[in-house]
Structure 1
Amino acid sequence: MQRLKVEVMVVSLSASRYSHGSALHFKSRRFSSSSCSCLKVSPWRGLNEWRESPLNENRKWGEHGPGPASEPHRDSPFGQASTLAEIGSIVLSTSDPHWKSQLSHMAYSMWRRHNLPLGISKPPSRPARPPIPQLVSPKEIPAPKDSGLPLNAYMLHNLAHVELNAIDLAWDTVVRFSPYSEILGEGFFADFAHVADDESRHFSWCAQRLAELGFKYGDMPAHNLLWRECEKSSDNVAARLAVIPLVQEARGLDAGPRLVKKLVGFGDNRTSKIVARIADEEVAHVAVGVYWFASVCEKLNCAPDSTFKGFEVWLISAYLLTYTELIQTY
């Protein structure tokens, strides 16, 4: 993990500014496959193992950790959709969070098992959301003592909200950039569909544990700032990679151990183990971001560090957003 953090820190903030006329926009840029003088980024050594791992059916948290869930057999809910991009768009258009989580796993499983083509689709302008939780500004999110939830449930609810948004962020990346598959390569979409599957499993664990504690997702307000950051990068894949995996998810790696320690201190070892496992699995997601950010920069014939610095305004906003989220759990 330490090596991964060093790789992420290679692309640090500076005083440069992002310009909306940047050639990073796919629609106005011609790409070259020739080599460039890019800074070479060494992939996390566990990345290939993660990519080649079998489908993970351990969607229930048992007495001794994750295990397979006994979910009833369902016919395919995807209708005539026959490509990864099309079924990803259906996941994004699903409002019920538990069904969205299940659909996400079903979508990734179908693609893996039936070798579906990537295809091209258009994502909804915003992912469908349930009536609750009420979405409010960060200042209106209640402190733990005012939330009506004990501290462990409060933390779990915040984490469940992050994981639900992460499902949509990953699928939006797959669907939104599907027209550029010849540029990005199928591996890009395979990785982010895999990320979406992981995030759906994480949401399932959080929702299950909330129910065990007598609560559910939606029992307290949440905010929609995560999606705001996603919208800012809707037409720029390099910005999407910089803001989401390299800042927001990377900050989550730092937060995980602190949340685990807090939960242990609260006396909830079961929840602490769930959070620890989620944090451990998020390492792969940051590694995916590092790998594909470097790859996109190579296609643009530019160095990852200077490209990253060019997004400073967005990155500071994303960093502060993530920090705000983290301090809400303390």
Structure 2
Amino acid sequence: MTASLPTVAAAIRAAMLTADPRDKAMATRAVARDWAAGRLAFAFDVAMPDSPARPAEPELLPPNRMPKRGRGGSERGRLALIHALCHIEFVAIDLALDAAGRFGAERGPEFVSDWLGVAADEAMHFSLLARRLRALGSHYGAMPAHDGLWDAARETAHDVAARLAVVPMVLEARGLDVTPQTIARFVAADDHTTARILQRIVDDEVRHVRFGTSHFAKLCEERGKPAPQLWKTLVAQHFRGSVKPPFNDSARRSAGLSCEMMAALA
């Protein structure tokens, strides 16, 4: 009987409160599998944590205290870039879990399915980059990391529309803009293994942004508001950075970010 099943909210919360990176990635993929297989009840009997559990390493620093990675194509610079990307994917696991657990009761099973799928993808991305760091003689946690990434979750915890506007439609969409240049940098350094990992990630991120734009469009329809204008308003209220060109227009269009929406934001 469904009532006897563990709840999806409890499973999500447990994954978010798993500190060890490898264990968090495995727990997240298990939650996504269990949900897809019908082994978790659509019930929200526990609250999501204000902050997810974090390992002792990496040391988390404010953005203005992060060491410079340096310019050029040095091996250390590339290693630092892989570490930074690995940390982004690690935090992205919890961002997707939190979306499913915090707003799933309000938005329904399809929303939960989409964001648990995103969380499983982010866990896989993290694992690929962590494995690449080990292959290059380093490991996740060997360098400091940016402590500002979870701010977007705190800032938008009250409103699912704000969460969608900022996390998939700004933060993940920015990855579509910058990752092709990053891939080219690794290709130029003859590191085709890392380049292939990043290409896999950017291909998946197009789908993640599309989930965001699709669910955001449904919300706008329900609220009777034009999507471009509401997106512009929410980003202005809840995103601390700037959104400016150059944009990866083709990838953004594939993800459902229309020229009309980008024009509204610009």
Q: How does the TM-score come out when normalised to structure 1?
A: 0.68
1:124-273 matched pairs, under 5 angstroms:
124-145=49-70, 150-180=76-106, 184-273=107-196
Are 2:48 and 1:123 equivalent residues in the alignment? yes
Runs of at least 5 residues in structure 1 that lack an aligned partner in the other structure: 1-79, 324-330
Query: How far off is 1:296 after superposition?
Result: 1.0
Higher helix share: 2
1:129 CA drift (Å): 0.4
1:86 aligns with 2:24: no
Larger radius of gyration: 1
The total of aligned residue pairs comes to 238
* CA distance in 2: counterparts of 1:219 and 1:149, whole angstroms: 15
- Does structure 1 conserve the Cα–Cα contact (< 8 Å) formed by 2:17 and 2:52? yes
Q: Distance in 2 between matches of 1:317 and 1:204?
A: 29
RMSD of Structure 2 on Structure 1 (CA)? 2.0
The Cα shift of 1:286 comes to 0.3
Deviations 1:149-194 (A, max 9, x none): 71222111111111011100000111112332xxx22111110010
Identity level (%): 36
- 2:249 corresponds in structure 1 to none
User: Deviation at 1:93?
Assistant: 0.5
- Deviation per residue, 1:236-276 (Å, 9 max, x gap): 00000000000000010011110001111222111111111
In 2: Cα distance, 1:135 partner to 1:81 partner? 37
Mapped partners of 1:301, 1:214: distance in 2 = 54
Asked which structure has the greater RCO (Cα within 8 Å, sep 6+), the reply is: 1
Counterparts of 1:319 and 1:171 in 2: how far apart (Å)? 25
Give the one of 201, 210, 216 matched to 1:293. Answer: 216
Hey, what's the Cα distance between the residues in 2 that align with 1:145 and 1:256?
A: 18
The answer (yes or no) to whether the contact 1:88–1:171 under 8 Å persists in 2 is yes
Report which stretch shifted further, 283-292 or 120-129: 120-129
